[in-house]
């Protein structure tokens, strides 16, 4: 997660066409929120971490 934020913080936003591939592929992320600071866009997604606890949906 920190590496994603570092990457986004160091990249200039010059997109001429929208991207069609996910920004993050190595973990599941959800509910992204975009924030603009000093003319740069930062994306903060949430994510789930495997806890090792068996799910009991009954």
Extents of the domains making up the chain: 2-12+23-47
Cα dihedral sign, 36-24-15-6: positive
Give yes or no for a contact between 19 and 11, defined as CB atoms under 8 angstroms apart. Answer: no
Give yes or no for a contact between 28 and 48, defined as CB atoms under 8 angstroms apart. Answer: yes
Is the model more confident about 58 or about 37? 37
**DSSP helix/strand/coil, 29:** strand
pLDDT tens digits, one per residue of 16-37: 677 677 777 887 788 889 999 9
Which pLDDT value is given to residue 35? 92
Which pLDDT value is given to residue 13? 52
Is the model more confident about 7 or about 28? 28
Which pLDDT value is given to residue 39? 92
Q: Which long-range contacts (CB under 8 A, 24 or more apart) does 25-32 make?
A: 27/1
């Amino acid at each position: 997660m920190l590496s994603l934020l570092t990457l986004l913080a160091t990249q200039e936003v010059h997109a001429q066409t929208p991207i069609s591939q996910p920004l993050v592929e190595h973990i599941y992320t959800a509910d992204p929120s975009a924030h603009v600071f000093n003319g740069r866009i930062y994306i903060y997604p949430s994510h789930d971490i495997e806890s090792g606890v068996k799910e009991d949906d009954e």
